[in-house]
Amino acid sequence: MDDPYKSVPIRSSEITPKSLYLSRRDFMKTAGAVAATTLLAACAPGLATGNLPTPTGLSVSQKTDELGDPLNSYQDITNYNNYYEFTTDKQGVAPLSANFKTEPWSVQVYGLVANPKTYAVEDLIQKFPPQERIYRLRCVEAWSLVVPWDGFPLSNILKEVQPTSAAKFVRFEAILDPKDMPGQNDPTYPWPYQEGLRLDEAMNDLTILATGLYGEPLPPQDGAPIRLVVPWKYGFKSIKAIVKIELVATQPATLWDTIAPDEYGFYSNVNPNRPHPRWSQATELRLGENKRIPTLLFNGYGSEVASMYTGMDLIANY
Partner 1 sequence: MLKKKSQITPLQILVHVGAWYPLLHLGFDYLTGRMSINPIQEIEQHTGLAAVFLLVLSLACTPLSTVLGWREAIKRRKALGLYGFAYTVLHMGVYVALDFSFLWSQIWFNIVNERYLLVGTLAVVLLIPLAVTSFQYFQKSMGKNWKRLHNLVYLIVPMAVLHYAWSKKGDLFHLRGDILYPLIYALVVILLLALRLPFMRRLTSSWRRQLTTKLQKILARVHQPPKAKPSFVNDPSTPPQEGETTGG
Q: Cβ(225)–Cβ(239) under 8 Å?
A: no
# of chain residues touching partner 1 (CB under 8 A): 40
Q: Which stretch binds partner 1 (CB under 8 A): 2-10, 14-22, 40-48, 121-129?
A: 40-48
| Cα 239 from Cα 241, distance rounded (Å) | 7
For the CA atoms of 185, 186, 189, 194, the dihedral, rounded to the nearest 10 degrees, stands at -30
Helix (H, G, I), strand (E, B) or coil at 12: helix
Work out whether 287 is an interface residue with partner 1 (CB under 8 A).
Answer: yes
Return the range that interacts with partner 1 (CB under 8 A); candidates 105-113, 125-133, 204-212, 286-294.
Answer: 286-294
Using DSSP, state whether 50 is helix, strand or coil.
coil
Site residues for partner 1, 210-239, by CB under 8 A, read none
Q: Which of 295, 286, 170 is nearest to 228 (CA)?
A: 170
Summary count for the chain: helices (H), strands (E): 8, 12
Q: Closest approach of Cβ 133 to partner 1, in Å?
A: 21
**Min dist. Cβ of residue 75 to partner 1 (A):** 7
| Smallest distance from partner 1 to CB 308, Å | 29
**Least separation in angstroms between CB 60 and partner 1:** 18
Instruction: Provide the minimum distance between the beta carbon of 23 and partner 1 in the complex, in angstroms, as a whole number.
Output: 13
Q: Which of 9, 17, 45, 104 binds partner 1 (CB under 8 A)?
A: 45
Under DSSP, is residue 163 helix (H, G, I), strand (E, B) or coil?
strand
Task: Kindly calculate the radius of gyration of the chain based on its CA atoms and give it in whole angstroms.
Answer: 20
Residues 157-196 that bind partner 1 (CB under 8 A): 186-188
Minimum CB distance to partner 1 smaller for 32 or for 70: 32
Residue 49 or 317: the one with the smaller Cβ distance to partner 1 is 49
Segment contacting partner 1 (CB under 8 A): 85-93, 199-207, 233-241, 300-308?
Answer: 85-93
256 vs 266: CA distance, rounded Å: 9
User: Which part of the chain contacts partner 1 (CB under 8 A), choosing from 54-62, 158-166, 169-177, 272-280?
Assistant: 272-280
- Indicate whether 31 belongs to the interface with partner 1 (CB under 8 A): yes
| Residue 123, CA distances (Å) to 43, 113, 128, 225 in order | 49, 20, 8, 12
The single residue among 54, 62, 91, 155 that binds partner 1, judged by CB under 8 A, is 91
Instruction: Confirm or reject binding of residue 275 to partner 1 (CB under 8 A).
Output: yes
Contact call for residue 42 and partner 1 (CB under 8 A): no
Residues in the chain: 318
- Among 75, 102, 106, 251, which residue interacts with partner 1 (rule: CB under 8 A)? 75
145-178 in b/e form (b: 16+ CB < 10 A) is bbbbbbbbbbeebbeebebeeebebbbbbbbeee
Residue numbers 97-156 binding partner 1 by CB under 8 A: 143
> What DSSP letter does each residue of 227-276 carry, written as one string?
EEE-TTB-GGGS--SEEEEEEESSPPP-HHHHH-TTTS-SS-B--TTS-B
List of residues contacting partner 1 (CB under 8 A): 27-28, 31-32, 34-36, 39, 43-45, 47-49, 75-76, 79-80, 87-91, 143, 186-188, 275, 277-280, 282-283, 285, 287-288, 290-292
